[in-house]
Amino acid sequence: MHELSIVMSVIEIAQQQATHANASIIDEIELDIGSMSGIEMSAWDFAWKQGVRNTILENAISKINLIEAKAKCNDCDAEFPIEHYYDPCPVCGEHLISIIQGKELRVKSLVVS
Ligand SMILES: [Zn+2]
């Protein structure tokens, strides 16, 4: 389950940030997760509960911003929501599209004390 390894790297980032801020507790963590980031939310929740045990994030509230994927057509420049890489442009039917949003996976903010 790759979600757990991602949770572990989020914990590592949070730990570094907290050390940097001389904080020992993280109260809240906010994450941006794109709908095309490859993360399965049910697996994520499970991995999170397992992963944060006995870490600086154990009691932190985790806020997740789910980001809907969007693509831009390389041919006609239309922007549209997308679910799969192979979805064509709804305007002209072109398959050469660029994902402009939805692959995010990042720690947006941390509240420490
Ligand atoms: Zn197009």
Q: Which domains does the chain have, with CATH numbers?
A: 2-112 (3.30.2320.80)
Give the tens place of pLDDT for each residue, 8-25: 999 999 999 999 999 989
Residue 56 is which amino acid? Answer: I
Stated pTM of the model: 0.85
Distance 98 CA to ligand 1 centre (A): 11
pLDDT band at 89 (very low <50, low <70, confident <90, very high): very high
CA dist 81 and 15 (Å) reads 35
Give the tens place of pLDDT for each residue, 54-79: 999 999 999 999 999 999 999 999 99
Q: Ligand 1 being an ion, which residues bring their Cβ within 5 A of it?
A: 73, 75-76, 78, 89, 91-92, 94
